[in-house]
């Protein structure tokens, strides 16, 4: 591969970390990818959201039954949502999950949200964590956590 092609291949898009992606996921078989998705549903979802859909305000909601995590993506959300906006975005997913879950099924909800700013926990990250926690409590499901994907491509695990 010539230098120009190599540079084009590793040019970073906003909200992307191509070398990090390749380190974590490159070369894994389908079975290994499936196992990785089950062992870290939020991290897996964060790295497998289509680059075209990664933008400030985008939120992935991950519902996990311990067998096959389901990721839903909300694009075009506010860049600085209020606590109420965060809860409002999560509520339909939690309601559906609460209805679909069986009494003995461990069901959890988590969020990967996209934002600008530093690669450290911010007030916005805390807002999302509080919204996930409150929503999960109301609907009787567990919290799997919150990850922020920064515009520079970093992943910040909030909880």
- pLDDT at residue 7 in the model: 34
- pLDDT at residue 102 in the model: 53
- pLDDT at residue 49 in the model: 86
CATH for the stretch 3-157: 3.40.140
Residue stretches of the chain with pLDDT short of 70? 1-15, 98-105
Half-sphere exposure of 131 (CA within 13 A, CB side): 27
| pLDDT tens digits along 116-152 | 999 999 999 999 999 999 999 998 889 999 999 999 8
- pLDDT at residue 148 in the model: 97
Kindly list the distances between the CA atom of residue 47 and the CA atoms of 40, 54, 70, 133, 139, in Å, as whole numbers in the listed order.
11, 10, 14, 23, 28
The full set of domain ranges for the chain reads: 3-157
Predicted TM-score (pTM) of the model is 0.82
Could you tell me if 73 and 60 are in contact, meaning their C-beta atoms sit under 8 angstroms apart?
yes
Kindly list the distances between the CA atom of residue 12 and the CA atoms of 24, 138, 139, in Å, as whole numbers in the listed order.
16, 40, 39
- pLDDT at residue 11 in the model: 43
- pLDDT at residue 20 in the model: 72
Q: Under 8 Å CB-to-CB from 58, ≥6 apart: which residues?
A: 49, 73, 74, 75, 76, 77, 113, 114
């Amino acid at each position: 591969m010539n230098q120009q092609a190599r540079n084009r291949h590793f040019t970073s898009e906003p909200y992307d970390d191509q070398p990090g992606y390749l380190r974590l996921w490159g070369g894994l078989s389908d079975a290994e990818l499936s196992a990785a998705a089950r062992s870290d549903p939020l991290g897996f979802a964060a790295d497998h959201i289509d680059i075209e859909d990664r933008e400030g305000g985008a939120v992935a909601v991950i519902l996990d039954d311990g067998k096959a995590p389901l990721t839903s993506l909300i694009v075009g959300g506010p860049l600085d949502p209020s606590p109420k906006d965060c809860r409002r975005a999560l509520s339909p997913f939690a309601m559906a999950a609460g209805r679909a879950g069986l009494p003995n099924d461990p069901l959890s909800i988590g969020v990967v949200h996209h934002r600008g700013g530093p690669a450290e926990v911010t007030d916005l990250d805390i807002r999302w964590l509080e919204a996930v926690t409150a929503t999960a409590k109301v609907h009787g499901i567990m919290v799997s956590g919150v990850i922020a994907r920064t515009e520079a491509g970093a992943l910040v695990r909030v909880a």
